[in-house]
Amino acid sequence: MNATRHEEFREYVAARGPVLLRMAMQLTGERAEAEDLLQAALAKTYLAWDRINDRSAVDGYVRRAMVNTQISWWRRRKLEVYPTDELPDRPVDDHSQRSELHDALGRALERLPARQRLAVMLRYYEDMSENEIAEVLGVSVGTVKSTVSRAMAKLRDDAGLGDQFPGIPSSDY
């Protein structure tokens, strides 16, 4: 009986999913949030599947679950703003400088040879160990160390990135 319940629910979701997603989009305004909302509502519906005797009323049940869930999320996200006559002492963080640095690093990475770029990406973006990188690339650990070391030296030298990016290690290897 449980397999039948599961299959019946699965068929319902396959048939009505796109329609329900459109409603979720109307509630949230963003596709990713709509998908999350629909998923939450469908999870609630699945748990109550045996209690829904009239299968023609399932759409209404899911819609009500979406509305209730969205209202719950709105309440949780409610911003608490307390107006004040005084401005804070510390300056507001300027994200533009970080964005410029990120762009400069991206351009510098693009100028690296493919093997060096891959080694750096695996090491610092994927946080893989030297042994893991060696296995992925099919080279020795020593080759990984020297490749990453050369790549990091090029990145530091390229447009003075060593000064701009204190997070780039100067002697990791």
Q: Domain locations in the chain?
A: 2-77, 104-164
When pLDDT is cut at 50, 70 and 90, the band that residue 167 belongs to is: low
Instruction: Please choose, from the candidates 108, 89, 88, 5, the residue with its C-alpha nearest in 3D space to the C-alpha of residue 47.
Output: 5
Return the higher-pLDDT residue of 144 and 168: 144
When pLDDT is averaged across residues 121-130 and rounded to a whole number, the result is 84
Name the 3-class secondary structure at 167. coil
DSSP-based three-state secondary structure for 15: helix
Confidence of residue 53 (pLDDT cuts 50, 70, 90): confident
Task: Please report the pLDDT score of residue 159 as a whole number.
Answer: 55
Residue from 165, 133, 172, 166 nearest 150 by CA: 172
Domain 104-164: top CATH class? mainly alpha
For residues 41 and 65, the answer to whether their CB atoms sit within 8 Å is yes
| Placement of tokens 């819609």 in the chain | 63
CA angle 59, 65, 70 (to 5 degrees): 125
Looking at domain 2-77, which CATH architecture does it have? Orthogonal Bundle (1.10)
* Mean pLDDT for all residues in the chain: 81
Q: Give me the sign of the Cα torsion angle 95, 101, 105, 106.
A: positive
State both tokens at 107.
């351009």
Whole-prediction pTM value?
Answer: 0.45
Report in angstroms the alpha-carbon separations of 98 from 110, 146, 164, 166: 18, 29, 10, 12
Q: Which of 68-77, 95-104, 133-142 has the lowest mean pLDDT?
A: 95-104
The pLDDT of 137-154, averaged and rounded, is 92
pLDDT of amino acid 11: 92
